[in-house]
Chain A
Amino acid sequence: MITDARSVPAGAVVDAEICIIGAGAAGITLAREFRASPFRVAVLESGGMRYDPETQELYDGQSIGQPFSGLMSERLRFFGGTTNHWGGWCVPLDAIDFEKRADLPNHIGWPFPRSHLDPWYRRAQAVCRLGSYDYRPADWGIPEKEIPPPFAGPDFACRILQVSPVHFGPFYARELREALRITVYLHANAVNLDDGGDAAAIREVAVETLSGNRFAVRARVYILATGGIENARLLLASGRPDGRGLGNDHDLVGRFFMTHLVYGGGIIVPSNPRMNFDFQTAGVFSGFGGRHSFVPFISLSAASMRRRKLPSIWLHWAFQFAPVGGSVEALKRLIDGEGPGGSVLTDLSAVVGHLEGVADYAVRKALFGEGIPIEALQLHCASEQLPNPSSRITLGATRDRLGMRETVVDWQPMPQDKAHAVATLRLLGQEIGQAGFGRLRSPLVEHDAWPDDFYGNEHHMGTTRMHDDPTQGVVDRNCRMHGVKNLFVAGSSVFPVGGANNPTLTIVALALRLADHVKTVLA
């Protein structure tokens, strides 16, 4: 059932076995897993079914470190969470991301290897409506022999990410609405995790609506799933009144805040402007029981990362074409020849708008064949940010409409992050030169500072990181908060290391794994 928290009687206490706070990718995945269970589940969602600026305003805060603009624009505070505007890009973290790497600062790895998570990754594929749990280009119609040096190894590798069509809110609303033992409370803001003063267990969650209604939820198990920043915020706002927050005996909650480091890597001038770039062209693959969208990208190989002491990176490029004479005429010919209903025509306006600049390679190729010279490849990079205890989420003095202290983001990439990015791009430049692929111009390599287009993206990680040692992490390997026996944390805040790959598939896999664990706890 999906209901409105504003209609819950004031002062009521809602009883459930499981209370899930947050209805984004993690929260909805968790709730779905209990549909067939005997447990009553209460899901608390701050927003409604649609965007509402007043609710979104509750995300507001301030940035005091490296400029960080992700508080308001990148997150979404309504049913479905940030998946309401995500791109659907899914790829598991790499095996090397789970390893403890002594060659990188603060790189503590995960408490388990990637192989441990594989069964839940496979199940996450279905939740996200993806194809097979296989990310090799060859399985997506890109033969290995068509991948030119240096992108076939040994330092760089061509990879695939799959594109999920699922926006978790609208996609799974019906299932949750029809679930007999699940109640989703919309407009329900969790404002305090009440531990009764002893911090050993959560006694109840205090809930408020923007309309002023207040009630509580009591459960046997509580799962915090409000996102990489808000998870830390709610923990810091709860617990003892000394301001240290809940479960924060070792001053770790909110620390190690990471994003992926996004920047333009420069341009590559290809030696052969008419070479076949299909190996880096997004497409739709018919297979795995359906049609699935995919996007190729380039990464460092694990062997190269170890040998060169580099963290993960994600590289993609946009094609910059030479101006095409008579492009409009060519379009007309295409229209005449193809007739109405042609698939290419659906993008006609976009194509016309971009004919003289950057455009999609596949569309250009469809329009003009192989004869379009490519002047340059514009590199887009997303680098792994190394865990840094000084990069953190804290609470400010200003309070929001519900009386909660606002978020303060002190985002602090380390100098090593920049050095690693430079080293990787320099390696790329040397490799493409050695292979005869082309030449690289990178402002990143040339200057000391990050380029102007540098920013931390919407992948917020690390603020309640996972480690078996309570002095090193906020949650244990089962995502249970150290020292609080009935509180679990879901989402990317538990990532101790973020790699460079998009996090949502890992968030969903961890949520599935956590659901399995909670079932055993409650059984």
Chain B
Amino acid sequence: MKTAPLSRRNLLALSAGLAAAATGSGAAFGGARSRGDMSGGMALAALCADLQCPGAISRACLRALPAEMSAAALARLITAEVAPAGPEPASAIASPIALRDAVRTCSRADFRNGRVLLVDGWLLSLTEIRVYALAGFAATAAS
């Protein structure tokens, strides 16, 4: 599958989308975390849906993560990253807004710790690459 390169306009839109993520349906990701008032999967799905991540970006990010090609695996990794394991659902994933903030925090920590990858020339954090990749599954599920 040939994929168009990531344009700066697309990445700009994605960055803006990440900052503005709000509510949405999370049915496709309901299994990402087993407990919670709004499940971690629901919040994650809402975040991904609101990103409206261009397909080219998602596909490029997926290619950068060859071992994490399933939505479930991505959701599990993202959730574990933003809300480390504990007996109760972490507040970090209780809502899309909280999740957005947690993703941003994790992403900045990734940059600080060198957990970065090149995706079509873009230097991106591992966490955001996973989110963008997952957003591609969200878009497919919604269509």
Q: Is B123 an interface position by the 8 A CB rule? A: yes
Knowing A429-B116, A430-B114, A434-B108 are in contact, say whether A273-B121 is a contact too (CB < 8 A): no
Complex Cα gap A440–B9 (Å): 13
Contact pick for A441, options B108, B110, B121, CB 8 Å: B121
- A to B contact number (C-beta, < 8 Å): 62
Contact pick for B123, options A271, A273, A429, A436, CB 8 Å: A429
When distances are taken between beta carbons in the complex, the residues of chain A under 8 Å from B15 are: 269, 271, 438-439
Chain A residues 419-435 with CB under 8 Å of chain B are 426, 429-431, 433-435
Complex Cα gap A435–B121 (Å): 20
Are A436 and B108 in contact, CB atoms less than 8 angstroms apart? yes
Knowing A429-B116, A429-B123, A430-B116 are in contact, say whether A271-B108 is a contact too (CB < 8 A): no
Complex Cα gap A430–B116 (Å): 8
Q: Is B11 an interface position by the 8 A CB rule? A: yes
When distances are taken between beta carbons in the complex, the residues of chain B under 8 Å from A245 are: none
CB distance from B112 to the nearest CB of A (A): 5
Are A446 and B118 in contact, CB atoms less than 8 angstroms apart? yes
CB distance from B118 to the nearest CB of A (A): 6
- B side interface size, CB within 8 A: 23
Are A446 and B124 in contact, CB atoms less than 8 angstroms apart? no
When distances are taken between beta carbons in the complex, the residues of chain A under 8 Å from B12 are: 269, 273, 375-376
Chain B residues 109-126 with CB under 8 Å of chain A are 109-112, 114, 116, 118, 120-125
Are A445 and B121 in contact, CB atoms less than 8 angstroms apart? yes
Q: Is A442 an interface position by the 8 A CB rule? A: yes
Majority DSSP secondary structure for residues of A touching B: mixed
Are A440 and B111 in contact, CB atoms less than 8 angstroms apart? no
Are A376 and B123 in contact, CB atoms less than 8 angstroms apart? no
CB distance from A2 to the nearest CB of B (A): 54
- Mark contacts of A257-271 with chain B using CB atoms, 8 A cut-off: 1 yes-contact digit, 0 otherwise: 000000000110101
- Chain B CB within 10 A, most for which of A273, A438, A441, A446: A441
- Chain B CB within 10 A, most for which of A271, A433, A446: A433
Complex Cα gap A244–B126 (Å): 57
Are B123 and A441 in contact, CB atoms less than 8 angstroms apart? yes
Other A-B pairs, 18, CB within 8 Å; known A434-B109, A440-B122, A443-B121: A267-B8, A269-B8, A269-B11, A269-B12, A269-B15, A375-B8, A376-B8, A430-B116, A430-B123, A433-B110, A433-B111, A433-B124, A434-B112, A436-B108, A439-B15, A439-B122, A441-B122, A442-B123
Query: Could you write out 18 A-B pairs with CB less than 8 Å apart?
Result: A269-B11, A269-B15, A273-B12, A375-B12, A376-B12, A433-B108, A433-B124, A434-B109, A434-B111, A434-B112, A436-B104, A439-B124, A440-B122, A440-B123, A441-B123, A442-B123, A445-B118, A446-B118
B residues in contact (CB < 8 Å) with A? 6, 8-9, 11-12, 15, 19, 104, 107-112, 114, 116, 118, 120-125
A residues in contact (CB < 8 Å) with B? 266-267, 269, 271, 273, 375-376, 426, 429-431, 433-436, 438-443, 445-446
